[in-house]
């Protein structure tokens, strides 16, 4: 299973590059969504449904996962010495209460963002930090993915505190790779978004907005 998981992560990615102090990753427009390939996780019954919309704060991406698992992403070079902080604004409208997220049977999240570092010639060698909006765990909890220890689940938000409301979270990606993978990472290689419920067979509804990297 972990081979499928890592190949899925890298197959989500499309190439792009930027060099700015504040780096916005996604525009969440119809045009962008049409250009980003949505890839279903092998073994999942359905694809997550992604649509874009607008509110007073700009564009957002809505993700509805009904016994589904698929994601979208970009290969994008981020200088973590200049902009180490990932910032995510997101919301969970329907969560996944009662599952054990650190097990294969319950390894589902209504919203997650992967930060990916290529560490070898194949996807199997890649390392990832999986920033998650948990339905059951407290902020600050973390554990290796039950599918591969090369991906760490790190809880940045929880519906136990913030349910059906927008919240902005931040984490130092450079420090996270050192802490969880013992890697000194100067440049990130890609970012991917996913909402998945294929293990629990449940339904989730989530929103993503304004994902960017910053100096502090």
Task: List the chain domain ranges.
Answer: 2-214
Tens digit of each residue's pLDDT, the chain (216 residues): 544 555 555 555 444 444 458 999 999 999 999 999 888 998 999 999 999 999 999 999 999 999 999 999 898 999 999 999 999 999 999 999 999 999 999 999 999 999 999 987 666 679 999 999 999 999 999 999 999 999 999 999 999 999 999 999 999 999 999 999 999 999 999 999 999 999 999 999 999 999 999 999
Q: How far apart are CA 134 and CA 117, in angstroms?
A: 23
Looking at residue 91, its pLDDT comes to: 98
Strands (E), 85-202: 85-94, 109-117, 127-134, 142-144, 151-158, 167-172, 187-196
Q: What is the CATH number of domain 2-214?
A: 2.60.120.430
Token readout for 35 is: 């250009």
Map tokens 């250009």 to a residue.
35
pTM metric for this prediction: 0.90
Distances (CA, A) of 129 to 30, 47, 72: 28, 23, 16
Looking at residue 75, its pLDDT comes to: 87
């Amino acid at each position: 299973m972990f081979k499928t998981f890592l190949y899925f992560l890298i197959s989500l990615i499309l190439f792009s590059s930027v060099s700015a102090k504040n780096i916005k990753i996604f525009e969440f427009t119809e045009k962008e969504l049409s250009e980003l390939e949505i890839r279903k996780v092998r073994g999942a019954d359905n694809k997550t449904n992604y649509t874009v919309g607008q509110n007073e704060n700009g564009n957002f991406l809505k993700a509805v996962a009904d016994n589904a698992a698929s994601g979208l992403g970009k290969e994008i070079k981020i200088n973590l010495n200049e902009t180490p902080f990932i910032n995510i604004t997101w919301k969970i409208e329907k969560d996944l209460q009662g599952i054990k997220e650190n097990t294969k049977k319950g390894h589902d999240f209504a919203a997650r963002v992967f930060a990916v570092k290529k560490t070898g010639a194949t996807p199997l060698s890649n390392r990832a930090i999986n920033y998650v909006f948990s339905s059951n765990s407290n902020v600050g909890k973390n554990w290796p993915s039950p599918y591969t220890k090369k991906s760490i689940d790190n809880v940045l938000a929880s519906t136990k505190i913030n349910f059906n409301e927008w919240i902005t979270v931040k984490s130092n990606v450079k420090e996270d790779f050192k802490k969880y993978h013992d890697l000194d990472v100067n440049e990130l290689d890609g970012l991917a978004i996913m909402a998945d419920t294929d293990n629990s067979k449940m339904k989730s509804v989530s929103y993503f907005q304004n994902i960017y990297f910053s100096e502090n």
